[in-house]
Amino acid sequence: MEKYDFVIIGSGASGATVAEKLSSNYKVLILEKGQHLSLNEAHKSYVRTSQNKDFGKHGGVDILSGTAVGGTTLLAIANGVRAQEKELKSLGIDLKKELDEVERDLSIKKIPENMLGGRTKLFIEKAKELGYDPIIMPKMIDFKKCKSCGKCNMGCQFQAKNTSLYYIEKSLSKNAELKTNYEATKIRKNGKGFIVEGKENGRHLDIPAKNVILSAGALDTPKILNNSGIKTPKRLFTDIFVTIGGKIESSFKDEIQMACYIPFNDFLISPYYSERILKILNEKNIEVRRDNLFCIMIKIKDDPYGQVSKTYIEKSCTGKDAQRIANGVAIASKILIKSGVEKIVSTEASGAHPGGTAPIGITVDNNFRTEMGFYVCDASILPEAPGAPPVLTLMALGKKLGYNILNST
């Protein structure tokens, strides 16, 4: 006899949101591989594919993610934009109501003018002189608590950043259960229901459920699907990014990162402070400090060309990706040069928005259901790279699945 109506594997952007919706009417268990960290300890949850054995042999794009309750949202820079709304609508998935709800839940607002830092203002000024029109970034931040430390990607020591922990706390208050340090490995049929196989603190534990929602993120969901007998396509994208920058004759204070951006067809550029650039310049014997560094991130909508296999993750730049990066670098360089940067260096390619490994139309239908009858809801189901911050959309997809299930029963 199953104790749970729904077992949700993964507590990140989509998993936490669907858990919150369903726990109003159902008995829900959330399984999470990581620990329950507070926001100021979130940096402990970082996972990078560059830490993997033989990383260099598998394309060389370093993919960043987070393993903890709340998933990668704990590390997010709090950018909250509507990504892929039109593309998903064309597949019959209208997210308008759900996006509105997430924006309300997480108080998503543009950064107030008086909180824009010196680098952002310089970026806006020089970009405008070149004929571009930067947009102020909407953020999931309580600006009354924010101290503009610029360290959202480490968590938040001021508890100002809104993350999936909001939905986890709401789920728990509605009697959902949460099991941490549980790594799901496989889902199998069990009569009309399912059994989730996995390990809790290293010890095998099977958990029966009437239904299962797999939300382990685009790097882990395909592994569980493959173990369960569902083949997944080699369509991994990551919104590849590089940061370029150098030294200028100014002294900047710390500030909110990616506070504005300029969107283009298949890339965006945004001011972003990078420790890696500081290190590269120091290695070249260019004396630069934290306060006189000026950098711009170029983030592209990359080709869905990569894969998660049993033993490795492979992701490289295609020729088109290289062209997209070059186009972005050309524009960002103009802004840097106009701002007074003489020697520009670049980071290696990374990616922080993995997706596409169980896409709608291939692995799941447009109700996010697999051929075995359980659901997948996370960035894996996005059919193409957003080329923009996806969290808001992934949370809206979680709500959508929640509503669909509530309305069908």
Contact letters (x/-) for ligand FAD, 23-62, by CB under 6 A? --------xxxx----------------------------
Q: Say how far residue 65 (Cα) sits from the centre of its chain.
A: 7
What is the C-alpha to C-alpha distance for residues 266 and 301, in angstroms, rounded to an integer? 5
Which residue among 42, 156, 394, 401 contacts ligand FAD (CB under 6 A)?
394
Please say which residue, 379 or 401, places its beta carbon nearer to ligand FAD: 379
Q: Which helix (H) or strand (E) holds 247?
A: strand 240-247
Binding-residue total with ligand FAD (CB under 6 A): 43
Q: And the tokens for 404?
A: 């669909």
Of 65 and 171, which has the nearer Cβ to ligand FAD? Answer: 65
Task: List the structure tokens of 309.
Answer: 């296999």
> Which CB, 233 or 340, lies closer to ligand FAD?
233
CB 339 within 8 Å of CB 248 = yes
Question: Is 274 a residue that touches ligand FAD (CB under 6 A)?
Answer: no
378 contributes a contact to ligand FAD by CB under 6 A = yes
Question: What are the structure tokens assigned to 199, written together?
Answer: 């390990």
Position among 23, 67, 238, 404 found at the interface with ligand FAD (CB under 6 A): 67
Q: Nearest 5°: CA angle at 180, between 382 and 12?
A: 20
Secondary structure (3-state) at 349: coil
In the complex, the smallest distance separating the C-beta of residue 18 from ligand FAD, rounded to whole angstroms, is 10
| Phi, psi of 294, deg, nearest 5 | -130, 120
Among 23, 79, 228, 274, binds ligand FAD (CB under 6 A): 79
The verdict on 391 binding ligand FAD (CB under 6 A) reads yes
The answer to the question of residue 236 lying near ligand FAD (CB under 6 A) is no
Find out whether 63 and 219 touch, Cβ atoms under 8 Å: yes
The identity of residue 152, as a single letter, is C
Q: Does 238 bind ligand FAD (CB under 6 A)?
A: no
Maximum separation of any 2 CA atoms in the chain, in Å:
69
Regarding 232 and contact with ligand FAD (CB under 6 A), the answer is no
Residue 155 · residue 40 · CB < 8 Å: yes
| Cα 195 versus chain centre, distance | 28
Residues 85-124 as x/- pattern, contact with ligand FAD by CB under 6 A: ----------------------------------------
Closest approach, Cβ 207 to ligand FAD, in A, equals: 11
Least separation, in Å, of the C-beta of 73 and ligand FAD? 5
Q: Smallest distance, Å, CB 405 to ligand FAD? A: 17
Continuous H helices in 174-270:
221-227
Please say which residue, 59 or 138, places its beta carbon nearer to ligand FAD. Answer: 138
What distance in Å separates the CA atoms of residue 311 and residue 227, rounded to the nearest whole number? 12
Residue type, 321: D
CB atoms within 10 A of CB 407: 7
Report if residue 351 touches ligand FAD, rule: CB under 6 A. Answer: no
Cα–Cα distance, 72 to 47 (Å, whole number): 10
End-to-end CA distance of the chain: 20
Binding mask 200-219 for ligand FAD (x = CB under 6 A): ---------------xxxx-
In the list 2, 98, 103, 183, the residue contacting ligand FAD (rule: CB under 6 A) is 183
Residue 227 or 292: the one with the smaller Cβ distance to ligand FAD is: 227
Beta carbons within 10 angstroms of residue 89's beta carbon: 12
| Cβ distance to ligand FAD smaller for residue 198 or 248 | 198
Choosing from 23, 49, 65, 84, the residue that interacts with ligand FAD (CB under 6 A) is 65
- Judged by beta carbon, residue 123 or residue 241, the one nearer ligand FAD is 241
Which residue, among 120, 121, 156, 124, has the nearest Cα to 141 in the 3D structure? 156
| Residue numbers 282-341 binding ligand FAD by CB under 6 A | none
Instruction: Give the whole-angstrom CA distance, residue 272 versus residue 280.
Output: 16
Residue placing its CB nearer to ligand FAD in the complex, 147 or 289: 147
Conformation bin of residue 239: beta by default, left when phi > 0, alpha when psi is -120 to 50: left
Residue 33 gets the label, from left (phi > 0), alpha (psi -120 to 50) or beta, of alpha
Establish if 155 lies at the interface with ligand FAD (CB under 6 A).
no
CB 45, min distance to ligand FAD, A: 8
Which residue in the set 288, 389, 399, 402 belongs to the binding site for ligand FAD (CB under 6 A)? 389
Contacting residues toward ligand FAD, per CB under 6 A:
9-15, 31-34, 64-68, 71-73, 75-79, 153, 182-184, 215-218, 220, 224, 352-353, 378-379, 389-392, 394
